[in-house]
Amino acid sequence: MNSKPASIPLTPPRIDRLPLPAHVAIIMDGNGRWAKKRSWRRIQGHEQGAETVRAIVRTSREAGIRVLTLYAFSTENWQRPEKEVKVLMHLLKKFLKGEEKELMENNIRLDAIGQIHRLPEDVIHVLDRVRHRTAANEGMRLNLALSYGARSEIVRMVRRLAEKVRNGKLAPEDIDETVLSDHLYTAGLPDPDVLIRTSGEMRISNFLLWQIAYSEIFVTDTLWPDFTKEEYLAILDAYQRRERRFGKTT
Ligand code: FPP
């Protein structure tokens, strides 16, 4: 049974000017380089990266972000050495177990997008439990992109639409942008207003290709384990100063 927690007092948001982004998406990159700079193992970079995840989730909630989507594991990441994949899965499980209480206390709903069935069974088990337990939380949605790839998400969406057309449940002329969006993993969520990528690479890396059509992009050279609450708030502040035109003139 899902019992709704009493809202706990949050520190007042530092970002008090509007508009606040409703949805922030982050490509968390640079764990390996962070470790390499210290002659440490890549694994230690991921461990530190998991700490940054905790801090950024908390800050997002405090700032009043409605949806936070984190690119935690891509479909391409399965090709990494088996040992590294194992560590990433272990960290994910540890994160889910360790954060369950805080997610409840802060009224955060956890969900996942991607080919979840490809994850190890024990991870799926914990993920399902946390998803279920936090399902009624409305303070913020935390989406973990796990075994996620935008192209495969689009293929899945097209197949689902084709199936509906074949079964006579959908007419081809009724397919529009909203129908497409409604058949993606992110159905029902606003598109990201802000896309952040750490560690300086100017790439999208198969992340939310459809959804980021009008996102404001921020790339920072900071490696993910070094990404701080202060830098995150500075990006949100910079977003508020940008003029979004959505293809129109001012
Ligand atoms: C990129 O670093 C990051 C990842 C492959 C995954 C992100 C994982 C975490 C932040 C830790 C665990 C996640 C959670 C949700 C607890 P990289 O290895 O590609 O870095 P590099 O480009 O410098 O090699």
0.75 exceeded by the pTM?
yes
142-189 pLDDT, tens digit each: 999 999 999 999 999 999 999 999 999 999 999 999 999 999 999 999
The C-alpha atoms of residue 236 and residue 220 are separated, in whole angstroms, by 13
Phi, psi of 207 (to 5 degrees): -110, 120
For ligand 1, mutation pick of 29, 74, 130 (most atoms within 8 Å of CB): 29
More confident residue, 245 or 236: 236
Q: Is 229 exposed, middle or buried (0-12, 13-18, 19+ CB in 10 A)?
A: middle
Beta bridge partners of 217: 195
Q: How confident is the model at residue 16 (pLDDT cuts 50, 70, 90)?
A: low
pLDDT at 64 over 60: yes
Q: What is the DSSP string of 94-135?
A: HHHHHHHHHHHHTTEEEEEES-GGGS-HHHHHHHHHHHHHHT
Tokens of 204: 């999208």
Share of the chain above pLDDT 70, in %: 92
User: What was the pLDDT predicted at 13?
Assistant: 46
pLDDT at 62 over 50: yes
Q: Say if residues 11 and 106 touch (Cβ distance below 8 Å).
A: no
Q: Say if residues 103 and 131 touch (Cβ distance below 8 Å).
A: no
Tokens of 168: 């006579």
The C-alpha atoms of residue 87 and residue 83 are separated, in whole angstroms, by 6
The C-alpha atoms of residue 211 and residue 47 are separated, in whole angstroms, by 29
- List pocket residues of ligand 1, CB cut-off 6 Å: 28-33, 46, 49-50, 53, 72-73, 77, 91-92, 95, 144, 199, 224
Instruction: Report DSSP state, residue 9.
Output: P
User: What was the pLDDT predicted at 15?
Assistant: 54
Q: Which domains does the chain have, with CATH numbers?
A: 23-134+147-191+201-239 (3.40.1180.10)
Atom of ligand 1 nearest to the CA of 95: 16
Task: Measure 157 CA to ligand 1 centroid, in angstroms.
Answer: 27
In the set 31, 77, 174, 237, the catalytic residue is 77
Going 193 to 22 to 174 to 209, the CA torsion angle's sign is positive
pLDDT at 48 over 70: yes
- Nearest CA residue ID for atom 1, ligand 1: 29
